[in-house]
Amino acid sequence: MGLILAAVGFGVITASILALAGVGFTLQFGVTNVLNLAFGSTMTAAAFVAYVVSQSAPLVVAVAAGGAFGAVFSVLVNRFVFMPFIHRGTRLFGMIIVTLSMGLVVQYSLQAIFGASFFSLPDIGGPTFHLGSFAITGPQVGILGLGLVAMACVHVLLRYTTLGKAMRATATNSDLARSCGIATDRVIDVAWAISGCLCGLAGVALALDVTAFTDTTGGDFLIPIIAVAVLGGVGQPYGAMLGALVVGVASEVAAAVISPDYKDAVAFVILILVLLVRPQGILAEVSGAKEVAS
């Protein structure tokens, strides 16, 4: 029993990274309608930026640099790579190929620049806190804190700011939003910046958590991110948060109860089961209703 409780706790830590990435990914798709498969590689690139900055600055600055890089890079990629294709009428499948290609360009560029090797961010250190069989280390507290703060910020942005309402309106119906006077192009730019920032922060958090990362680390994480987004209801940030919690906790409990070998499989079995019952994802309907209400 103690091990299962510990696994639930560990699942929450994993969920905090998944939530950062999943919310960024789903926000991006919800507002811009681009299923960005370069998301994982952008996470990796942000981790490398943080690594470079950490060589001469404190880790907190490196984390901020990773987030900033994710924001700027995402906006630029959208403006100069994705938008030209969208303006030419490239459809969803075509855009998926474009984003996949962009991801490979980023990954191979990182490999060319840094080499096919492994890198580590500086150790945060700090004490390990024990609560029964559950233990949490200094770096994990940092990652958990980062996830909670970022999610709180996203919540405040979406619920209590004009920009957040504009983003939600654009996500729900961009044509209607535009006809209501919302500058949807600017909203989309901001959405790319915010989701890119979350992507960058997720990349740095992932690099801190796995302790040794390489040019494929973020890309390997892409499938769980998509699973989280789909589970929560694509385009629904709150759904992604819940999805992250489900996937994170389910995979750790599976490792404790069944076998570590089934860790990933169980999370995806849950995904399939949920989608069989609710094809729109866990929170899609609730969120949809709220969009109409607001």
**Beta carbon of residue 3, minimum distance to other proteins (angstroms, whole number):** 6
**Beta carbon of residue 24, minimum distance to other proteins (angstroms, whole number):** 16
One-letter-per-residue 3-state SS of the chain: CHHHHHHHHHHHHHHHHHHHHHHHHHHHHHHHCCCCCCHHHHHHHHHHHHHHHHCCCCHHHHHHHHHHHHHHHHHHHHHHHHHHHHHCCCCHHHHHHHHHHHHHHHHHHHHHHHCCCCECCCCCCCCCEEECCEEECHHHHHHHHHHHHHHHHHHHHHHHCHHHHHHHHHHHCHHHHHHCCCCHHHHHHHHHHHHHHHHHHHHHHHHHHHCCECCCHHHHCHHHHHHHHHHHCCCCHHHHHHHHHHHHHHHHHHHHHCCHHHHHHHHHHHHHHHHHHCCCCCCHHHHHHHHHHC
**Beta carbon of residue 85, minimum distance to other proteins (angstroms, whole number):** 23
Interacting residues with other proteins (CB under 8 A)? 3, 6-7, 10, 13-14, 17, 107-108, 111-112, 116-120, 123, 128, 133, 135, 137, 139, 206, 209-217, 220-221, 251-253, 255-256, 259-261, 263-264
**Residue among 32 and 140 whose Cβ is closer to other proteins:** 140
**Residue among 17 and 150 whose Cβ is closer to other proteins:** 17
**Beta carbon of residue 177, minimum distance to other proteins (angstroms, whole number):** 36
**Beta carbon of residue 215, minimum distance to other proteins (angstroms, whole number):** 8
Contact 5, 252 (CB under 8 A): no
**Residue among 216 and 280 whose Cβ is closer to other proteins:** 216
**Residue among 14 and 42 whose Cβ is closer to other proteins:** 14
**Residue among 133 and 173 whose Cβ is closer to other proteins:** 133
**Residue among 25 and 119 whose Cβ is closer to other proteins:** 119
**Beta carbon of residue 271, minimum distance to other proteins (angstroms, whole number):** 16
